[in-house]
């Protein structure tokens, strides 16, 4: 467990540090640059293959529900040998991208792997993005996606909420919002490199110590101003570290040891445990932000996805058992 990152991990981190990180760090925070970033990320996503053993079905349900809810669009990823009707559970996966870029397609390497390893379908909604649609628009879309699953017979006890980076923030905010709206809570919450603190105070303090090859706290803070829109950071649903996390389901948090958001993940795990939640925090030594997306090439990412699938199977098994709350450092 004391081994350092693999050779592949070090090589990819070095390439990102020299190429992608400078691009993201100096990208101006205005609409034109955001459109450029979206096009670049979408093109790059074509290079990341998803598993051929799953079906990726386009989802476009424009008809609002009986309660006047929002339409649900995105992807439904299903193992090829899975039953078509009445799945016993599902993973609602909310992609990252700082609330401004990315899509369900960019995150197929994660969602397809989850579908394959868990045997469950994955709902990856295409939620609205900032700056055109600032918060809480993404949260409203996430609630609509959860309601969509319930309306189609997926029991809340079989649903795991999951997300990476900004999608991790959105998944956690969704968990709290379900409670506020009186909806049944999910079986579990799974976060990959969550962007917990949109004010970026914690990450700014950690920036001088972290060797994150991918993102910087400065760029995250610039993007956050676009996300919150004219209302600023006053919406209490944004502040994950000060929420009252009562009656939480089991939580798994995976974070790279080298990333600038590590301190946020640690602070969130502490907040959850103080509230009495079962939280397993995994710190993967030497890994970058959302390293899980490289699970077809990185041994650490593949191992992390196996742990993630185990968590999903455990909390949706109906046994009532929770993963033991703990803090772990992980290596390849």
Q: What are phi and psi of 277, to 5 degrees?
A: -80, 155
Give the whole-angstrom CA distance, residue 99 versus residue 209: 25
Q: Are strands 54-61 and 122-125 parallel, antiparallel or unpaired?
A: unpaired
Q: Which of the following is catalytic: 259, 264, 266, 300? A: 259
Cα–Cα dist 169/139, whole Å: 10
Name the phi and psi angles at 178, rounded to 5: -60, -40
Helix and strand counts by DSSP (H, E) for the chain: 10, 9
Q: Of the listed 6, 13, 103, 165, which one is catalytic? A: 165
Q: How far, in Å, CA of 170 to CA of 224, rounded?
A: 13
Q: Over the range 19-51, which residues count as b (16 or more CB within 10 Å of their CB) and which as e?
A: eebeebeebeeeeeebeebbeebeeebeebebb
Alpha helices (H) in 119-212, listed in sequence order: 137-151, 166-180, 201-206
CA distance 265 to 290: 13
3 is catalytic: no
Return the beta strands (E) in 80-130 as ranges: 90-94, 122-125
Q: Which of 13, 193, 289, 300 is catalytic?
A: 289
Q: Is 117 helix (H, G, I), strand (E, B) or coil?
A: helix
Residues 200/224, Cβ–Cβ less than 8 Å? yes
Question: Cα(160)–Cα(39) distance, rounded to whole angstroms?
Answer: 30
List own/partner pairs for 183-186 with CB under 8 A and 24 or more apart.
183/143, 183/146, 183/147, 183/150, 183/156, 184/150, 184/156, 184/157, 185/156, 185/247, 185/248, 185/249, 186/92, 186/146, 186/156, 186/159, 186/160, 186/161, 186/249
| 289 is known as an active-site residue | yes
- Specify whether 25 is catalytic: no
Which residues are part of the catalytic machinery? 165, 259, 289
């Amino acid at each position: 467990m004391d081994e350092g990152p693999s050779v592949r991990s070090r090589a990819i981190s070095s390439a990102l540090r020299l190429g992608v990180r400078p691009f993201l760090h100096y990208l101006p925070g205005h609409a034109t640059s955001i459109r450029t970033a979206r096009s670049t990320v979408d093109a790059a996503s074509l290079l990341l293959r998803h598993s051929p053993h799953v079906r990726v079905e386009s989802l476009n349900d424009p008809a609002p529900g009986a309660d006047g809810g929002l339409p649900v669009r995105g992807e439904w990823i299903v193992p090829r040998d899975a039953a078509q009707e009445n799945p016993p559970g599902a993973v609602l996966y909310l992609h990252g991208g700082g609330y401004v870029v990315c899509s369900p397609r960019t995150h197929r390497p994660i969602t397809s792997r989850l579908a394959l390893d868990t045997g469950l379908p994955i709902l990856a909604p295409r939620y609205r993005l900032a700056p055109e649609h600032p918060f809480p628009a993404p949260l409203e879309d996430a609630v609509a996606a959860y309601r969509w699953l319930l309306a189609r017979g997926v029991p809340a006890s079989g649903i795991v909420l999951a997300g990476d980076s900004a999608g991790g923030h959105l998944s956690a905010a969704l968990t709290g919002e379900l409670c506020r709206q009186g909806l049944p809570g999910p079986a579990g919450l799974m976060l990959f490199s969550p962007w917990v603190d949109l004010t970026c105070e914690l990450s700014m303090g950690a920036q001088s110590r972290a060797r994150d090859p991918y993102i910087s706290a400065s760029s995250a803070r610039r993007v956050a101003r676009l996300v919150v829109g004219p209302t600023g950071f006053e919406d209490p649903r944004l502040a994950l570290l000060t929420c009252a996390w009562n009656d939480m389901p089991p939580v798994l948090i995976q974070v790279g040891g080298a990333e600038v958001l590590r301190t946020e993940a640690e602070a969130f795990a502490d907040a959850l445990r103080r509230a009495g939640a079962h939280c397993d925090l995994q710190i993967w030594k030497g890994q970058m932000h959302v390293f899980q997306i490289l699970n077809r090439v990185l041994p650490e990412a593949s191992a992390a996805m196996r742990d993630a699938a185990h968590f999903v199977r455990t909390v949706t098994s109906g046994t009532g058992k929770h993963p033991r709350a703990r803090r772990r450092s992980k290596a390849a």
